Structure 1
Amino acid sequence: MTRLTVIGSINLDIVATAPRLPLAGETVTGAALARHPGGKGANQALAAARLGATVSLIGRVGADAMADEALASLRAGAVDLTGVRVDRERATGVALIAVDPTGENQIVVAAGANHGMGVGDLPARIEGPLILQLELPVAVVEAAAARAEGFVAVNLAPAAPVSEALLGRADLLIVNEGEAAFYGDALHAGGGRVVVTLGAAGAVMFEKGREVARAAPPRVEVVDATGAGDAFVGAIVVALRERLAPDAALAFACAAGALAATRPGAQPSLPSRAEVEALLLG
């Protein structure tokens, strides 16, 4: 069984499903409100756990009722939360999400306790495999990668300046098209694998700047794309650690992302291993 550590953000997502997304300065009425656990770190941890991995999460929440909501699905999914600390000075992170009927979304994040996390919250040694994202302070992410003793995957989202050392240490970098444009050729300088997600067009994998695999997602009816990227990240790491070939790993991850887009919310939408395998079988 694959064992993973995820170091990352933990949020409560407050989601308004509206007739359409607002323009700048515009108010759109008629929305339905829902609350779901979220945060890229928490989402990717639960995604990997639902796909069969044994997962430990390191992060921070506030000393508030929102923390209980934010951690509920992780507890139910058997994610090890012994590395999650309570911040007495900051609130649990919150993501405010607007979703339209096509599944497109707009997201504003109040990081709260996530940005209170420091290098001192990290273990002195981190046994891999490890998944990181950029919703924590970059210094924490870079220190975690430096302390990792095994495989390191970094989802460079949301895009932000990072050190060459982080890019070079990563065995796997995962970005969407916008993030790929932000980082440019620096993505391929470190020699590790790079995966670029292409939305409805699927994903492509590079090794040393050369394309080695490409996959398209199965056709699904999109309801809410909020958790699709995190489902993809958890799935691609699980697949590669299970030694699937690049094309099979991409197909597995694309199927997981596609399934996540068929249901509302981030964590509620994350698929099980059985669901992914059934979709791949057609």
Structure 2
Amino acid sequence: MIVVFGSINIDLVTRATKIPGPGETVAGPIYEKIPGGKGANQALAARRAGADVVLVGAVGADDFATHALSLLKADGVDLHHVATVDQATGAAFITVDPQGENAIVVAAGANDYAQARQLADVAIDDKTVLLLQREVPDAEGEAAARLAKSKGARVILNLAPAGAISESYLRLLDVLIMNEHEAVSLAAALGLPADVRSDPESVARTIDQTYGVPCVVTLGANGAVGWTGGVCRAADAIKVKVVDTTAAGDTFAGAFAAALERGAHFSLALQYGIVAGGLACTKQGAQTSVPYARDIESVVQERLKEDFIPGTATPSP
């Protein structure tokens, strides 16, 4: 089982000819109201990748909450541990340009009131994976990680949005996932040497070696690289026509976690994550773009066949 402790949002998305700069107004023809939030996105991604998933978070007592939870409910994510609080449901305001790149402003709302103690009634054990992000308070995320570790669970943190976390939080993790910008930000906060900070892969290697935390860095069109136990693993991006990159990172995290939870080795989990994230770029929106297991599996198996080495019993890692 995967337990996701994280944010639940409604995304207001518009497509425009460009992403506006400071003081600039850019016209967009329409906007869409789409379920989102990093926690919710990753929960749906893990569920669609085949895992049993429990989502723990908070929403407001408003119409946005119903819409924000609609796809999760439809796909069978357990929502019994989502609290309703006296705050507005979180919202994200997203502009997407013709190349599929996006700019996002997030209003936390109810997400700031999600609490680790909500996990007390969740059946967490040594077969559970706890998946975290940073759109709920870090103090609550760290408390959730500590609770899960006390019950033998594995803990994965997606360090998004970018920023610093405490060393105590970092050392609770079994895997850290970042994009290249988040890696640079964390390296600066940890005081890593300048030559390390400038190279996201070096950041991942240093975190693995110094803190004993396996670390994955996603690199957009350049795929992903991960360091675990002093060994580097990599996965090339799949070739797709990019429509919208919103939730690609969340989809990677959810699919990667789902693969680890069902027993995949680190390299194979990278493949599932990178394929799922790539497929998410081919559709608009956050949760509306998350692919299903059958589509992910088809591409992964083709990639494994291409990497098969004659004379070996299994595809190469």
Q: Work out which of the two has the higher radius of gyration on C-alpha atoms and give 1 or 2.
A: 2
Counterparts in 2 of 1:218-229, with a 5 A limit? 218-229=238-249
Task: Confirm whether residue 190 of structure 1 aligns to residue 187 of structure 2.
Answer: no
**1:130: how far off?**
0.5
2:177 matched to which residue of 1?
174
Task: Confirm whether residue 264 of structure 1 aligns to residue 262 of structure 2.
Answer: no
- CA–CA distance in structure 1, aligned partners of residues 213 and 98 of structure 2: 38
Of 250, 257, 261, the match for 1:241: 261
2:115 matched to which residue of 1?
118
1:45 matched to which residue of 2?
43
Task: Confirm whether residue 100 of structure 1 aligns to residue 120 of structure 2.
Answer: no
Task: Confirm whether residue 25 of structure 1 aligns to residue 45 of structure 2.
Answer: no
Consecutive unaligned residues of structure 1, counting only runs of 5 or more, are none
- CA–CA distance in structure 1, aligned partners of residues 222 and 36 of structure 2: 25
Of 10, 13, 18, the match for 1:12: 10
**1:120: how far off?**
3.8
Give the number of aligned pairs: 278
Of 106, 110, 113, the match for 1:109: 106
CA RMSD between the two structures: 1.5
**1:211: how far off?**
4.3
Of 208, 212, 215, the match for 2:235: 215
2:275 matched to which residue of 1?
255
2:195 matched to which residue of 1?
none
**1:119: how far off?**
4.0
Contact residue 255 and residue 272 of structure 2 kept, 8 A = yes
Contact residue 57 and residue 115 of structure 2 kept, 8 A = no
- CA–CA distance in structure 1, aligned partners of residues 44 and 117 of structure 2: 24
Runs (4+) of structure 1 exceeding 6 A deviation are none
2:201 matched to which residue of 1?
none
Task: Confirm whether residue 276 of structure 1 aligns to residue 296 of structure 2.
Answer: yes
Q: Secondary structure at the match of 1:251?
A: helix
2:220 matched to which residue of 1?
199
Q: Give % identity.
A: 47
Contact residue 169 and residue 190 of structure 1 kept, 8 A = no
| Residue identity opposite 2:110 in structure 1 | A
- CA–CA distance in structure 2, aligned partners of residues 33 and 187 of structure 1: 40
| Residue identity opposite 1:212 in structure 2 | C
Higher mean alpha-carbon deviation, 98-107 vs 23-32, is at 23-32
**1:124: how far off?**
6.8
Task: Confirm whether residue 82 of structure 1 aligns to residue 103 of structure 2.
Answer: no
Higher mean alpha-carbon deviation, 29-38 vs 62-71, is at 29-38
Q: Deviations over 1:24-58 (max 9, x none)?
A: 11111143311100000000000000010000000
Of 132, 137, 162, the match for 1:159: 162
Q: Deviations over 1:81-125 (max 9, x none)?
A: 00001012x100000000011110000000000002234434177
**1:220: how far off?**
0.2
Contact residue 49 and residue 55 of structure 1 kept, 8 A = yes
